[in-house]
Structure 1
Amino acid sequence: MSDTTEPLILLRGQRLALGQPRREMLPHYHRWENDPGTILGYGNQFPQAWEVREKGWDGQRGNRNYQQFEILDGSEPVGMTVLIVNTFVHNAEFVIVIAPEHRGKGYATEATRLTLDWAFHLGALRTVWLKVLEPNAAGVTAYEKAGFKQSGRLRQSGFWLGKPVDELLMDALPEDFEGPSAVK
C-alpha cells in the first residue's frame, strides 16, 4: 500500500497489531462495512452511502468516547475494532469488522483480545460488552475465545437472512482476561 502513510502501531500481539485509523484508508473501511457479509453480521438491511461515512469520519475521530483501532497484519490493514466508551460507568461496547478477504483466518479472536487488553490495561474500563446475532456462530466462537462470556439475550431483536433472530449479549471483565498482556 505505497499510497498510504505508514500505520502508527499502538499495541502488538502475536500475529496482529492495533494501529491508529488513517483517513486515506476510509474507502477501504467503507468497503468492508458495506460488504454483504458485514451487513448480515450486524443485522443491517442496507449499505451506508459514501457521503454519510465520509462526513462521519471527523466526528468519530474527534470523539474521545469513540475509540477506533485499525487491525494490521504486518503493515496490511485487515479490519477495525471500536470501543464506544461510556465514561460515566467506565464500560464500552465492542464492535469489530474484518475485511471480507481476511475472514476465516482467526484474526477476529486476536484482534478482539488485543482490544480487550487495551480496554482493561490502558483504558481502565470495568467491563466491555457486545451484541452478536445468535446465528453468527463464528462470531460467538471468536468472542468466547477472546474472553467474552454470554450474559443475556434480546429476543427477536435482530435480523439474519431477513428473519428475526435473538441477539446474544456478551461481556468481559478484567478478571476474565487470562494470559499475558501485550502492554509492556
Structure 2
Amino acid sequence: MLWIGTDTCALGPYRSDLVETYWRWEQDPSLLVGYGRQGPESLEARTEGMGHQLRGENIRFTVYDLADGTPVPAGVTTLLPDRGVRTAEFVIMLAPEARGRGLGHGATRLTLDYAFHVTNLRMVWLKVLAPNAAGINAYAKAGFRRAGTLRQAGYWLGRVCDEIVMDAVASEFGGPSVVKSLFTP
C-alpha cells in the first residue's frame, strides 16, 4: 500500500515484516558514520525495538523506489513530533543501493508535504553532520534552510565535527504538493 508518491518515489506504511531489511540498512558503515553512531545493533535488539516503534507517537514511512515500475523498499523517513508546539524532527535512512539517485530528495519532499498538509505541522527541523555535503544539498533542495550550527556536537570518521541544524516551515513550503493534488478536481 502506497500513501503518496511521484513517478519515482512513494511513501507507504512502516512495516514489521521489513524489520530485517531496515536492520540491514542500519548496519551499513556509511550510515553509521552519517548518524555519528559508533556501533552496530543486533537483529534481536532491532526486532525488539520494532514493536516499540510501531506503538509509538512518531510518524514513520517506508520509502519505495518506483523507478522500475514495481515498488521496492528503499528507506525510511521519520517525523518525531512535538505535538504541543506542532513541530517535528525529521530523520531519513536510505538503503546503500538507493543512494545517489534522487530518492533522498523525493522522500524528504514527500514527508514534508505530508507533515505540512496532513499532520498540520508548522515547522520541521533536522540535524546533519557538517561534512555530509550530499545530505545538506539534498535537504536544501527539498525545502530545508540552514538555521544554525551545534559546534563540535558530532563525529565524522573518528573526528569531532559540527552539526548543522536545518528547518523547513509550512508557510515557505513551495512547489507542487502531492497531497493537495489529491483534493484538487
CA contact (8 A) 1:69 1:81 kept: yes
Aligned partner of 2:24: which letter? R
Aligned partner of 1:174: which letter? A
Distance in 1, Cα, partners of 2:105 & 2:46: 26
**Partner residue of 1:4?**
none
Question: Is 2:10 aligned against 1:17?
Answer: yes
1:71 to 51, 54, 63: 63
Q: CA offset at residue 14 of structure 1?
A: 3.3
**Partner residue of 1:28?**
21
Distance in 2, Cα, partners of 1:91 & 1:168: 18
Number of residue equivalences? 176
Q: CA offset at residue 73 of structure 1?
A: 1.5
Q: Which runs of 5+ in 2 are unaligned?
A: none
Question: Is 2:97 aligned against 1:101?
Answer: yes
Runs of 4+ in structure 1 displaced over 2 angstroms?
none
Structure 1 segment 57-136 matched on structure 2, within 5 A: 57-63=50-56, 65-74=57-66, 75-136=71-132
Q: Which runs of 5+ in 1 are unaligned?
A: 1-7
Q: CA offset at residue 21 of structure 1?
A: 1.6
CA contact (8 A) 1:41 1:136 kept: yes
Range that drifts further, 111-120 or 69-78: 69-78
**Partner residue of 1:39?**
32
**Partner residue of 1:166?**
162
Distance in 1, Cα, partners of 2:151 & 2:100: 28
Q: TM-score, normalised by structure 1?
A: 0.93
Q: CA offset at residue 175 of structure 1?
A: 2.1
Distance in 1, Cα, partners of 2:7 & 2:173: 16
Instruction: Give RMSD over aligned pairs.
Output: 0.8
